[in-house]
A and B are shown apart, each in its own frame.
Chain A
């Protein structure tokens, strides 16, 4: 096994052992540094990549809506690559943890996942839109 394969192998093993999903991992091979960034729960509105937030809930017993928001500034794409089918369409059923889009920021693709299960009611931004941090992306009617 060459160095790169060996490193990748070790990384996969490490990832399996982690207690929760990190938001970012930085590996450096020379002098062996490894930085893991955890979801930041201490800083107010900071959200890890799967960002879902309740909208102002209507109190008339209507559907409870949640919104998937941009966890970072970048370009929002609805599909994995140009011409590919979108991750989700309006009306689709989604489950928590499912990928619903991707944001490209500094040439890095970050999968956008929904934190709740339910029905996609509205896609709020078109494909390939530049979005800011916390921008609402997809509205989901929560299950149950």
Chain B
């Protein structure tokens, strides 16, 4: 087991990881870009290294600078957080070559699952159901023929995509050629890899994911599911566990399928198996995320486990701290993401300085945030400002606590808008209150807003 961890990330997740490292007695090293020099994690960490300017390819994606920072500070391990280099197999491999423990799955697994078309094929072979679609990247003509055979709507996905990026839904054969060209161009620009594949698109779906944890001692655990159906343009806004209103054995069958696949493929570390559930209650594998996820706190609230601690233990060669029979899922946890975006203006980001930031607190509320009064939200990075998490012994209490917490939250500053009121509308919407919401809910809400 190592004694020091460099955190190759920023924002709320860097601070969240640093907190667990401190609790575990590990020396923590933060890295930061120029506009993040006053970020709380820089003050919190034992050491902090300025690695580059604002542009992420010169800072948070700058592998030589991060490795150099690790060596200069004597770091023994690197935690990549989410986004940035967290699922870059080259980075994981370079860390290992340089003698730094990468806190995540081995590079070979990341590469395998990083190709989403390949992951789909592997999972189908491992016995998980997948939506009708392609087993590999497709050229224009074969893609059009396959789409026509499957039936519209279909969804085009970047092979190198993930995290809800590089997706485009096509509703008719007539629109297909243009949509295919756009999807390729977008994939090329975003991931430097223009390959795309396709699947049937499920319009009113539930997005359910299973959290797994695999150590190097043969233990394969599942930590329950998360419902992430509240999405805008494939970006999650509200997540909860357990998933409300599913058929009694459905989540259990999905978890069993995920564990079986994880076992067969020799998965290591913390991972998330994402599924779609259609209106008839059939589930389909979508992708695997080889990282800690933004929405991990809801799982922590119902399991009592610190997932970052488990990740660190497993990377350090220790077994998971619990066995499957020790894990009991208690109550209901909900997470709302507060973004510095203006819902009235198409959710455009609103950078600026916070003149007031008072996070909610009180019974059974957790706020993960790097924001404080006086904090300046940089224009260069994503707009996630805070994650507010509530817990209750049942869904109604968890919802009541969340409603109360969102009412307490105070955030303002010149030019700054947030998604707060939009989130409040989501969780008070009858479909959400009844646990009958699907991935179509947010679009419905936006249309209802326009009619007012």
Identify the A interface with B (CB < 8 A): 40, 43-47, 72-75, 105-106, 108, 130, 132-135
The answer to whether A134 and B64 touch across the interface, beta carbons within 8 angstroms, is no
Q: List CB contacts (< 8 Å) of B245-262 with chain A.
A: none
B contact residues around A106 at 8 Å (CB): 64, 67-68
**How close is A52's CB to chain B, nearest CB, in angstroms?**
15
A contact residues around B52 at 8 Å (CB): 46, 72-73, 133
**How close is B70's CB to chain A, nearest CB, in angstroms?**
10
Does B50 count as interface, using CB distance less than 8 angstroms?
yes
The answer to whether A46 and B55 touch across the interface, beta carbons within 8 angstroms, is yes
Known: A73-B69, A106-B64, A134-B34. A44 touches B49 (CB 8 A): no
The answer to whether B54 and A133 touch across the interface, beta carbons within 8 angstroms, is no
A contact residues around B50 at 8 Å (CB): 73, 132-135
With A and B bound together, what is the CA distance between A40 and B58 in angstroms? 10
A contact residues around B54 at 8 Å (CB): 43-46
Chain A contact residues: helix, strand, loop or mixed: loop
With A and B bound together, what is the CA distance between A42 and B84 in angstroms? 21
With A and B bound together, what is the CA distance between A133 and B52 in angstroms? 5
Identify the B interface with A (CB < 8 A): 34-35, 49-55, 58-59, 64-65, 67-69, 72
The answer to whether B49 and A73 touch across the interface, beta carbons within 8 angstroms, is yes
| 10 pairs of A and B residues whose beta carbons are closest in the complex | A46-B53, A132-B50, A43-B55, A106-B64, A130-B72, A133-B50, A45-B53, A73-B65, A73-B68, A133-B52
**How close is B140's CB to chain A, nearest CB, in angstroms?**
22
With A and B bound together, what is the CA distance between A75 and B64 in angstroms? 13
B contact residues around A108 at 8 Å (CB): 64
Number of residue pairs A-B, CB distance < 8 angstroms: 57
| Nearest A-chain residue to B63, judged by Cβ | A106
B contact residues around A75 at 8 Å (CB): 72
B contact residues around A74 at 8 Å (CB): 68
A contact residues around B58 at 8 Å (CB): 40, 43, 46
Known: A46-B54, A73-B49. A133 touches B65 (CB 8 A): yes
The answer to whether B65 and A72 touch across the interface, beta carbons within 8 angstroms, is yes
Q: Which of A73, A74, A105, A132 has the most CB of B within 10 A?
A: A73
Partner of A132, one of B51, B55, B64, B67: B51
With A and B bound together, what is the CA distance between A43 and B59 in angstroms? 12
Partner of A43, one of B53, B65, B67, B68: B53
With A and B bound together, what is the CA distance between A106 and B64 in angstroms? 6
With A and B bound together, what is the CA distance between A47 and B52 in angstroms? 10
**How close is B36's CB to chain A, nearest CB, in angstroms?**
12
The answer to whether B51 and A45 touch across the interface, beta carbons within 8 angstroms, is no
With A and B bound together, what is the CA distance between A3 and B49 in angstroms? 41
| Nearest A-chain residue to B49, judged by Cβ | A132
The answer to whether B51 and A133 touch across the interface, beta carbons within 8 angstroms, is yes
With A and B bound together, what is the CA distance between A134 and B50 in angstroms? 8
Contact sample, A vs B, 27 pairs, CB 8 Å cutoff: A40-B53, A45-B34, A45-B53, A45-B54, A46-B53, A46-B54, A46-B55, A72-B52, A72-B68, A73-B51, A73-B52, A73-B65, A73-B68, A73-B69, A73-B72, A105-B65, A106-B64, A106-B67, A106-B68, A108-B64, A130-B72, A132-B51, A132-B69, A133-B65, A134-B50, A134-B53, A135-B50
With A and B bound together, what is the CA distance between A106 and B63 in angstroms? 9
With A and B bound together, what is the CA distance between A108 and B51 in angstroms? 16
With A and B bound together, what is the CA distance between A45 and B34 in angstroms? 8
**How close is B50's CB to chain A, nearest CB, in angstroms?**
4
A-B contact sample (6 more), CB < 8 A, given A40-B55, A74-B68, A132-B50: A43-B54, A44-B54, A45-B34, A73-B72, A105-B68, A134-B50
With A and B bound together, what is the CA distance between A133 and B33 in angstroms? 9
With A and B bound together, what is the CA distance between A40 and B69 in angstroms? 22
A contact residues around B34 at 8 Å (CB): 44-45, 133-134
B contact residues around A135 at 8 Å (CB): 50
Partner of A44, one of B51, B53, B65, B68: B53
**How close is A44's CB to chain B, nearest CB, in angstroms?**
5
| Nearest B-chain residue to A132, judged by Cβ | B50
**How close is B143's CB to chain A, nearest CB, in angstroms?**
24
